[in-house]
Every structure is written in C-alpha cells, then in structure tokens.
Chain A
C-alpha cells in the first residue's frame, strides 16, 4: 500500500498547530487498505463538497441488535475497499480510565479486525472502532469479549450510560458516579444490546451541577449530584484567597444567583444563607480550597433532555429533587423509578418519540401518575398561566370524602 498519491485538499489540513486528523488516517493507511481508500474518498468529498456514505442494512453480532452501525460507500466501484465500512461501539470503562495495557489490547484487536482508526471517544461515550467489513464483526466481538470488553448501544435501545470522573479525581463528586454508571450499565445489559423501544433512551451521570458530561442537554435521564445541607466553609482558606489578591466580592458574591453569600472584607470571612442557596456551584468552583459541597449528598433526577430532532431540543427538567444514591441497596430507588418511566414511555410513545416529547404531548400530570410521584413546585419554574386544566372523578371523590370526614 502506498500513501504517495497527491491529495492537495487533505494535504492542506496536515499543516497548522492543532493535531491533524489527516495525519492520523495516514498512519493507519500505511498498514491498512481501508484507511488508504478512506483518504481517496475524503479527498473527493472535499473536491465535490458532498458525502460518499450510505446508511441502512442491518449488520451486527449474534444475539445483539445494537452496537454495530452499518456503513457503505455510495460508490463501491470507485472505492471498493470501503464497500463495507461499519462502526463498532465498544462500551468504555466508567470515567474513561485506562491502563496502558488496556489501550494496547484494544489496538491489537482493532489492528487484526479493522481499519486501525478509532474515536476516543464517540459523542455518547463509547470507544468507537471506525471502519470494518461484515465478515470481521463476529470475530472482532469474540476477541473483545474474551478480553473483557462488550459492545455499547445503538438504534432504539438504551444507549451506553456515561459518567464524569467523579470520586476518581474530583472533590465535587456528590455520589459515586463511577460505581453508579457501572452498576446501571451491568443491570440493563439486555436493554443496551437489544433495541425494542420506540426510540433511543440515554442515561448520563454527573457528580455535581457543573454537569461535565452535559447530561441535562442530551440525556433522557439526567442524574446530577447535589446536597441537601449547607456549603462547608473553611474561613482560613477564604482569608488565603483574599490575601492572594482575589476580589471575592465581585468575582464570587456578585455572581451568586440568589444573593445568599456575603463577604466580610474586614474579617475576611464568608457567610452563606444555605436555606436560600440553589447549589449552582459558582462560588465553590471559584474557591475550591475554601468552599466545599455539603455532607448530606445524593442526586437530583431530571428527565426529558435531547437534541433537536424531532420536536426541538429539550433540556431535562426536575422530577426528583433529591434521591439518596445508596450503593448498599443497589440503587434500588433509581431503578424502580426508571423502570416505571420506561414502561410508560414504551406503552405510549410513537415511533421516534423520546420520553421528553411524550411527556410534552401527554402532559406532566400523566407522567407523574405513571411514575407514582406527587407534583411539587421544584418541578417547574412557575405554575400554569392559563385557566385550562382538567378535573377528574377522583378529584370529586376526594372532595366528597373530605366533606364526610368533616361531617363526622
């Protein structure tokens, strides 16, 4: 194989200070014909300003419906080596932690079975093996499985859950995101591998409201670490920040959304009205040595986030303000909740309707009934502004029962 062919468009993108993806493809092209052909196809895409890929055609490994995405060039005569060029999604370890030998194992498997090109990582969080042929899929899976790896999700299934670095390297972690992610992923293996739902469903797990995995913006179920008691203040460290020249009033206090943090410049002390704190994380992120998340920790469960397609992008909204995240009971409360939500969605959704869109179409009241939760003000920014609401027979029955009670 040769990489000496002139590719003036791609050559332009080998220049400049930012790492070049063209050089990456060339490194694999030196050993792999598919990667070499990819360069030719890509050069043509750059010339013609258009894609040369087709989707569709079910491919996969035995017993799974997801984890492999079929990909074919639209011009197999011109680019025969990438007639089939499928993606395999490999479930990443929690927090994307690797030992060097893990990377070598993955590289050896992918050298044997595919193009040698990867994404570290895909948008959902999987290790992405980019480009192989149908006849390699099962063998590649076998080698992965024997090395302790499994495929992630694709299609209308549970997509690979993902979490932030959490207690592995962050003092903000309000629960064990790494363990929770591992536990939930192991618990829902069948949902992950066998698409049987109206559309995809995503779980993303952040250890604090900074939300480093963008859970609120893209997960149907956003698990966001939080605390119920107060921010812990180390006044000695507050003074140290002041002595170091930090303008605590303007950089910390003035940005507080609820105006609940006060700085006494004479004493160099901070006072927080924790009952009015909404735990936005600004002050803690600004002064990580002086301010710490509270002690009574757990998670806020939010529902409905998704990207644009179909009804518009949604941000997840609060459903459970505080859920303890107990390893001891195997996160039973969360599993109980999500299973009720999935059942209701699976029963009621149209094809390609995410759970957020279904709740929007059917109304929050119906969803809350399905998951057996009472409405509370934390779920909304403000109450309804119109007088168009429903009454149900059970409302009148309750009224009647109350009257009887009073009469007695």
Chain B
C-alpha cells in the first residue's frame, strides 16, 4: 500500500547535478571574470569559459513563464539556468555563439537583459497587496512603476558604481532593504485599532506587549485586551503581526518612506544602514507618480555628482548630509532626527560642518 504521507526531512535536492558541466569542470578553480557587456558575464577557468546572460524578473512568475525559461535553457544552454538573490534569471552557457540569439529572444518577449557591473540592479521587493496582511503599500506595483522610469539605468553599466534599490511593504522589511543604496518602505501613520473582543479571544496578551519596541502597549485586564499609548506608538505594526485583531491598515494615511546610502559589501567603507530622506509620500496607485519622481531625482543627483567608484552612501558621506539635502532639494524635518534607542551617535558633536543656503 502506498503511504498517505511521503517522506519528511529529506532536505533540498543536491546542487551538483544541477550545475552546468563547465561549472563542474571549473569548480573552485575559476581564474577571473569579464563583464562582456551589460547583462553578460564571462567566467573563465582551466576548462574554459562560462557565459551568463542575466535578465530581470518581477519575482512574481507564473509557471507558464518558468516553462518558457526552461525552453530557452534547453535551446541555448544545454538546459542550464539559475536565479540570483535579486530575482534575476541567469542563463548559463559555454557556447559563446548562443549569447546573442538568446538575448534577442529574451528581449523580443519583454525580458530585459542587464543589471551587471556599474548598473542599476534588479529591484528586490516583498509581497505587498498581492499576498501580505501587513502591507502599507503595494510592492510589485511600486517596483514596476519605478523600474519602468529608471529602465535605462538597468541597461547601461557606466554609473559611478553599482546601484541597489530595494522595496519593502512594511517595517518588517522582509528581504532586509535597510542596507540598500536607495530603499523605499511602506509606512503606517496611525495607531492600530484594538478590537477588544477579538483580542481577548484570539491573542496572547504577553506576546503583544513584548512585540512593542517602545513599550506603548499596556494590558487592559477589564476587557482581557490591551490599550495603546498614542504618544509612544510609532506605527511599526509588529503588534498586528502577532495579533490579527489589532489592524493597522489605513488607506487615508498609509504611504511610503525613502531611505538612502546603505550597503552590505565590505568594499572600501564597510556595510552601512540606509538613512531617512523622505518621511512620507502618499500611495498613488497605479503608478505612484510622486514616489517615482522622488526616486528619479535621488538617482540623478548621484549619477551627476558622484565620483567614479563611489556608492550612494560613500558619495553622501563625502559631501556631507547637509549638502545632500540642499542638492536633493528636500526639506529637513523633525522626522529626520533619530529619537530611538541608538540615536545619540547620530548627533553632530563637532563644529565641523558645511553651511548651506537653506
């Protein structure tokens, strides 16, 4: 009799047989790589060269598209492909002559090739309104609108440095967008609504209290629920994540905040968090025009002013944040000065600064 339950704990399939033969033959012995052109890499080892053709994907992919990727891999790459941490699909082939026909077929169907070297990388993002309970904005839609506008930067690799833009639809920041050159994040601005009866029925009070970063939540023993101190709540939504009976979504007041200057790699200056530059932009579906214009401005001032080799944050640190706000033509407000746990180290403790006109 066949068991009703298949084996558990078998773990992921092994990677070895899923790699191209060239990767197996050069395994651990790669000598160097070349950036052939935007979207095409050539990695060389003793056994020969492996070509990578990188195409952007919106991460949300239907199985119809995946089957077409499989067709292309069979047609041009002996069946080999992989995906990247930024949701690109990469076709891997040792046949140099297949690179251009593959690119032509991808682009003809609307799958752009690019995003290597000193280019705008594919955007990473979260689920948004497509599938998440706590989203303060949509993810796929904002990303589509921003990428349509910045599309040329994905296709060229002559920017000052690589440019990583990332999106998260709430402060949970799935995907850790907090260390990106430019990050835009869905934000709430009103406190959660406490549905006392539902909280009493469905939620663990100590968990809700522990979930609050600012100690704004107190037990309400009478109602077997909680109360929120409006003055302390900064709308992170973490209590809603542990207790669905405290909804925080608010169409009137939800929107997007923008941070810049983060990075992860150790190159030169080490990893850094992104910093707040625009506290709020309203949700404007379907094309989020104000958000798109703001991000375009942020990209352009970097492209036009940074030195060759400077990531976004490295450029801002060199010119100073006061200069950056002037150059970006952005208001500096009370929201920009940190008042959370680690705020003190962000205050300027020297009289060295630059004067600006505003």
In the bound complex, residues from chain A placing their C-beta under 8 Å from that of B50 are: 169
| Interchain CA distance A402-B32 in the complex, whole Å | 55
Chain B 241-265 interface mask (CB, 8 Å, partner A; 1/0): 1101000011100100000000011
In the bound complex, residues from chain A placing their C-beta under 8 Å from that of B73 are: 99-100, 103
Is B325 part of the contact surface with A, judged by Cβ < 8 Å?
no
Assess whether B62 is in contact with A25, with CB atoms less than 8 Å apart: yes
Which listed segment binds B: A280-288, A328-336, A370-378? Answer: A280-288
In the bound complex, residues from chain B placing their C-beta under 8 Å from that of A228 are: none
Nearest CB in chain A: distance from B329 CB, A: 26
Assess whether B140 is in contact with A313, with CB atoms less than 8 Å apart: no
Assess whether B144 is in contact with A18, with CB atoms less than 8 Å apart: yes
Within 8 A of B (CB), among A242-285: 250-251, 255-257, 278-282, 285
Which listed segment binds A: B207-215, B219-227, B294-302, B349-357? Answer: B207-215
Nearest CB in chain B: distance from A188 CB, A: 9
Chain A 94-106 interface mask (CB, 8 Å, partner B; 1/0): 1111111111101
Given A171-B30, A217-B271, check contact A211 B264 (CB 8 Å). Answer: yes
Q: Which of A42, A49, A51, A95 has the most chain B CB atoms closer than 10 A to its own CB?
A: A51
| Interchain CA distance A12-B97 in the complex, whole Å | 38
Assess whether B341 is in contact with A311, with CB atoms less than 8 Å apart: yes
Interface residues of B toward A: which range? Answer: 35 or more
> Which of A16, A51, A117, A186 is B62 in contact with, Cβ under 8 Å?
A117
In the bound complex, residues from chain B placing their C-beta under 8 Å from that of A121 are: 59, 83, 87
| Interchain CA distance A280-B311 in the complex, whole Å | 14
In the bound complex, residues from chain B placing their C-beta under 8 Å from that of A210 are: 265-267
Assess whether A190 is in contact with B66, with CB atoms less than 8 Å apart: no
Within 8 A of B (CB), among A229-250: 250
Q: Which of A15, A45, A117, A168 has the most chain B CB atoms closer than 10 A to its own CB?
A: A168
> Which of A24, A165, A310 is B211 in contact with, Cβ under 8 Å?
A310
Assess whether B144 is in contact with A13, with CB atoms less than 8 Å apart: yes
Within 8 A of B (CB), among A332-391: 350-353
Closest residue of chain A to B178, judged by CB? A313
> Which of A186, A251, A288, A310 is B11 in contact with, Cβ under 8 Å?
A186
Assess whether A28 is in contact with B79, with CB atoms less than 8 Å apart: no
Chain B 81-104 interface mask (CB, 8 Å, partner A; 1/0): 111110101001000000000000
In the bound complex, residues from chain A placing their C-beta under 8 Å from that of B175 are: 123, 218
| Interchain CA distance A290-B13 in the complex, whole Å | 36
Given A17-B112, A53-B132, A104-B70, check contact A308 B58 (CB 8 Å). Answer: no
| Interchain CA distance A129-B299 in the complex, whole Å | 34
Nearest CB in chain B: distance from A214 CB, A: 5
| Interchain CA distance A361-B144 in the complex, whole Å | 41
Assess whether A93 is in contact with B15, with CB atoms less than 8 Å apart: yes
Closest residue of chain B to A56, judged by CB? B244
Assess whether A169 is in contact with B144, with CB atoms less than 8 Å apart: no
In the bound complex, residues from chain B placing their C-beta under 8 Å from that of A17 are: 110, 112, 148, 151
Assess whether B27 is in contact with A120, with CB atoms less than 8 Å apart: no
Is B131 part of the contact surface with A, judged by Cβ < 8 Å?
yes
Closest residue of chain B to A256, judged by CB? B268
| Interchain CA distance A309-B129 in the complex, whole Å | 20
| Interchain CA distance A181-B166 in the complex, whole Å | 25
Assess whether A20 is in contact with B58, with CB atoms less than 8 Å apart: yes
Assess whether B264 is in contact with A352, with CB atoms less than 8 Å apart: no
Assess whether A150 is in contact with B11, with CB atoms less than 8 Å apart: yes
> Which of A63, A138, A178, A280 is B266 in contact with, Cβ under 8 Å?
A280
In the bound complex, residues from chain B placing their C-beta under 8 Å from that of A288 are: 32-33
In the bound complex, residues from chain A placing their C-beta under 8 Å from that of B144 are: 13, 16, 18, 20-21
Chain B residues within 8 Å of A, Cβ to Cβ: 4-15, 17-19, 23, 27-28, 30-34, 43, 45, 50, 52, 56-67, 69-71, 73-74, 79-85, 87, 89, 92, 110-112, 124, 126, 129-135, 138, 140-141, 144-145, 147-148, 151, 154, 171-176, 178-179, 202, 206-207, 210-213, 236, 238, 241-242, 244, 249-251, 254, 264-271, 273, 283, 285-287, 308-309, 340-342
- Pairs A–B under 8 Å by Cβ, sample size 27: A12-B287, A18-B144, A20-B110, A54-B244, A95-B19, A96-B82, A96-B84, A97-B15, A97-B18, A117-B62, A120-B59, A123-B124, A125-B85, A150-B11, A171-B32, A173-B30, A176-B28, A182-B12, A185-B11, A209-B267, A211-B266, A307-B178, A310-B213, A312-B213, A313-B178, A313-B273, A351-B210
9 closest pairs, A vs B, by CB? A123-B175, A16-B148, A218-B176, A145-B6, A100-B70, A167-B28, A209-B266, A171-B30, A18-B147
